[in-house]
Amino acid sequence: MNRHHAISAPRRRRDDSGQIFALVAFILVFLLAFIGFVIDMGRLYYSYRLLQSSTDAAALAGAYALPASTTAATATLYSGVSGNKNAYTNLPNVTMVTNYPMLRCLTTLTNQGLPCVSPANANAITVQQQVSVPMTFAALIGVKAITLTATATAAMRGSARAPYNVAIVVDSTRSMQDSDGGSNCSGSRETCVLQGVQTLLGELSPCAASQASCTISNGQATNPVDEVSLFSFPAVSAATVADQYCGSSGSVSVQPYPLPAIGATPASDPTYQVLGFLSDYRTSDTSSSLSTSSNLVKAAGTTGTSCSGLQDPGGSGTYYAAIIYAAENLLVAQQTARPGTQNAMIILSDGDANATQTQMASTATKSGTYPSYVNECHQAITAAQWAAKQGTGGTTVFTVAYGAESSGCSTDSPAITPCQTMEQMASSSGTFYTDYTSQTLSCVSASQPTTNLNQIFTEIAGYLTVARLIPNNTT
């Protein structure tokens, strides 16, 4: 009996060792399945990141192109679809989801001063892409591929400020001495415009936000962001340019309108440029107050400076084709000196070009083609549309029809109104503004409902930013 037990005991031990092999085999299968799961999930995660990255890029490109009618095509060009700029060789079958890119008019953005602008009639764009990712180990259990979808929405403006060269063109003819006539501002039109310029200077960036303070030398910040130059018409002699913003009433000598050649450097005497491009208007990007030592701030008539602000000499009719050419030529030169910057021109006027032959340089003709004392409003439109195409990336032309009436432009054929002139001078319907006072009920910007000058300048400052991604559920 004992012998039998002695013999059978080793047999039981050999049977136990067989169970270990079965356990090891089960564990190996589990590990292989887990590794396969990790590999497939890693592929999915990596593919999704690529897909989302190209979707973000497409949305931003489309938003940056707004309000152009080619916005959707631009977004597709920068998508991950094969053959486009953000296509990845290891993600070859990306497709754009039906009905995308989708142009959108978001109320949230309109409340922030980003109207829905024609021809796209949108202020944002949504892009949605998808891709089918083949599985390796999951295919063993019947899951051969998984479809991923990525969505991105971008607003046309509102991100970090792009560096700009800004030319502000202010009408200083006799009509600007009139009372504003509205409830938004008291005083003359010239005074109200200068308050708007102060608002703009408070919104722009003299230097990077990362700098505790701007390092200023001769009106220039080291590594400036936004530089601003002030122009005014009618022209004055170079000897009295300083008096144009820091003199007493009647101290400015008005000259016949000079007529600079298109594309050429404008003559310095007489001149339209009151102050060159400056970036000393605030001591830092975060400063809430303007620097009273800045000539640009003085020219804006800011309280606390030693100057009375931009003078309104009057004395001449309005002719702004020439000043547009002069300002654009200087903008292009400034952009050449500051590679990577963009250009903007802001023109404030009632839009009624009506200078007489004697108020213009002797080279003015009756041909109707610049420089001419007939078809003056149409010449201004031609000049502004030319300016919009100059320099790297073109120039964004903003116009503010201030006190524009339903009749005028008496030298023009075919007939055109001052309001229509200002509207056609703007780069797009989204860069055309009106003050909409009781005198100008017939001149209204369809795309820009804002009528307060200070708010208009705030919105222009916001326009001088770049596209930004926003939550997809923004309404």
Other Cβ atoms within 10 Å of 71 Cβ, number: 22
In this structure, how many other beta carbons lie within 10 angstroms of the beta carbon of residue 174? Answer: 15
Residue 26 confidence (pLDDT) above 90 = no
Q: List domains and CATH numbers for the chain.
A: 2-155 (no CATH), 164-467 (3.40.50.410)
How many CB atoms are located within 10 Å of the residue 289 CB? 11
Tell me the three state secondary structure of residue 54.
Answer: helix
Peptide bond into 224 cis (omega under 30): no
Task: Say if CB 387 and CB 324 are below 8 A apart.
Answer: yes
Query: Given this model, what pLDDT does residue 438 score?
Result: 44
Per-residue pLDDT, 183: 57
For residues 443 and 456, the answer to whether their CB atoms sit within 8 Å is no
Task: Return d(Cα 182, Cα 372) in angstroms, integer.
Answer: 34
Structure tokens at 460: 């222009």
- φ, ψ for residue 66 (rounded to 5)? -60, 140
Find the length of the chain. 475
Token pair 């916001």: residue: 462
DSSP 429: G
268 CB neighbour count, 10 Å cutoff: 10
For residue 63, name the pLDDT band (cuts at 50, 70, 90): very high
- pLDDT at residue 376 greater than cutoff 90: yes
Q: What residues does 244 pair with on adjacent strands?
A: none
Per-residue pLDDT band at 185 (split at 50, 70, 90): confident
Cα first-last separation, the chain: 90
pLDDT at res. 186: 77
Measured between alpha carbons, how far is 277 from 219 in angstroms, rounded to an integer?
8
Does 44 have pLDDT greater than 60?
Answer: yes
Query: Comparing C-alpha atoms, which of 14, 25, 94 is closest to residue 53?
Result: 94
**Percent of the chain beyond pLDDT 70?**
88
Per-residue pLDDT tens digits for 382-441? 999 999 999 998 999 999 998 887 889 999 999 999 999 999 999 988 899 988 554 545
Angle at 55 between CA 53 and CA 56, to 5 degrees: 65
Q: Please say if the pLDDT value at position 175 is more than 70.
A: yes
Output phi, psi for 149, to 5 deg: -130, 135
- Bridging pattern class, strands 220-221 and 164-171: unpaired
Going from the C-alpha of 239 to that of each of 213, 235, 251, 269, the distances in angstroms are: 34, 12, 11, 8
Q: Phi/psi of residue 38, each to 5°?
A: -65, -40
Going by pLDDT thresholds of 50, 70 and 90, the confidence category of residue 296 is very high
Q: From start to end of 42-85, where are the E strands?
A: none
- 23 or 333, which is more confident: 333
Q: Tell me the backbone φ, ψ of residue 134, rounded to 5 degrees.
A: -70, 140
Mean pLDDT of 272-289: 94
Q: What is the pLDDT of residues 145-161, one digit of tens each?
A: 889 999 999 998 887 77
Condensed to tens digits (0 to 9), the pLDDT of residues 211-244 reads: 999 999 999 999 999 999 999 999 888 777 888 8
- Cα 297 to chain centroid distance, Å, stands at 23
pTM of structure: 0.78
Q: What is the chain's mean pLDDT, rounded? A: 86
32-36, 455-459, 460-464: the lowest-pLDDT one: 32-36
Q: How far apart are CA 321 and CA 378, in angstroms?
A: 9
More confident residue, 363 or 251: 363
